[in-house]
């Protein structure tokens, strides 16, 4: 018994762009949809990433403009060890501080300082327009890094949305083409059967 050698199927790349008798108008449309989807996804990803980074940078700058550093004095000794179970704490402890404004107004609040600081020690704290102690703003290299990370996270997400929309459009086109093939086969199929029977 003679064995038939296995058939090798060669994948033809970019077949939708080449002229051939089997290519349909819908194939050309699908090719353009794929190309436009990738181009638009890349463009939107780049734009969204740069915009997100810019907005993040402006947010950090606005935050920095609303607060200012002051030199304060500890009014009591700070705890020598941070509380247990601090989680994401930076190892500092809360302590009472006092500072004097340029107009001579005295303010007191609580701020985070390093453990073991003694009363009378000077520390730099950040205050807002209401003269309340607030966390130090993100600035400099840290702000640049966070802005870049924000852009890097937003960019692929925006590109994926565009790519997903293109996939939906392409899927509808494929279903429409399959329906057209089915309708054509219903017309040609019976005649194909008659031709085969006639040859027998």
Instruction: Kindly give, in sequence order, each residue whose CB lies less than 8 Å from that of residue 132, ignoring residues fewer than 6 positions away.
Output: 109
The pair of structure tokens assigned to 77 is: 């000794």
pTM surpassing 0.85? Answer: no
pLDDT at 187: 76
Residues recorded for the chain: 200
The full set of domain ranges for the chain reads 25-61+143-194, 68-136
> Over 90: is that where the pLDDT of 20 sits?
no
pLDDT at 184: 74
The pair of structure tokens assigned to 155 is: 């960019």
The pair of structure tokens assigned to 27 is: 């194939």
């Amino acid at each position: 018994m003679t064995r038939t050698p296995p058939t090798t199927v060669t994948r033809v790349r970019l077949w939708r762009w080449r002229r051939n008798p089997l290519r349909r108008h819908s194939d050309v449309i699908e090719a353009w949809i794929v190309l436009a989807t990738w181009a638009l996804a890349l463009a939107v990803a780049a734009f969204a990433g740069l915009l997100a980074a810019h907005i993040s940078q402006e947010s950090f700058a606005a935050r920095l403009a609303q607060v200012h550093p002051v030199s304060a004095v500890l009014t009591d000794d700070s705890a020598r060890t941070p509380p247990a179970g601090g989680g994401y704490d930076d190892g500092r402890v809360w302590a009472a501080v006092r500072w004097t404004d340029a107009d001579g107004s005295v303010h007191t609040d609580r701020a985070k300082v390093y453990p073991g600081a003694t009363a009378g020690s000077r520390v730099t704290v950040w205050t807002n327009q209401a003269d309340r102690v607030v966390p130090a703003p993100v600035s400099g290299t840290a702000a640049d890094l966070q802005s870049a990370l924000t852009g890097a996270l937003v960019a692929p997400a925006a590109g994926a949305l565009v790519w997903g929309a293109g996939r939906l459009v392409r899927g509808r086109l494929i279903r429409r083409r399959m329906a057209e093939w089915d309708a054509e086969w219903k017309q040609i199929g019976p005649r194909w059967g008659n031709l085969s029977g006639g040859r027998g």
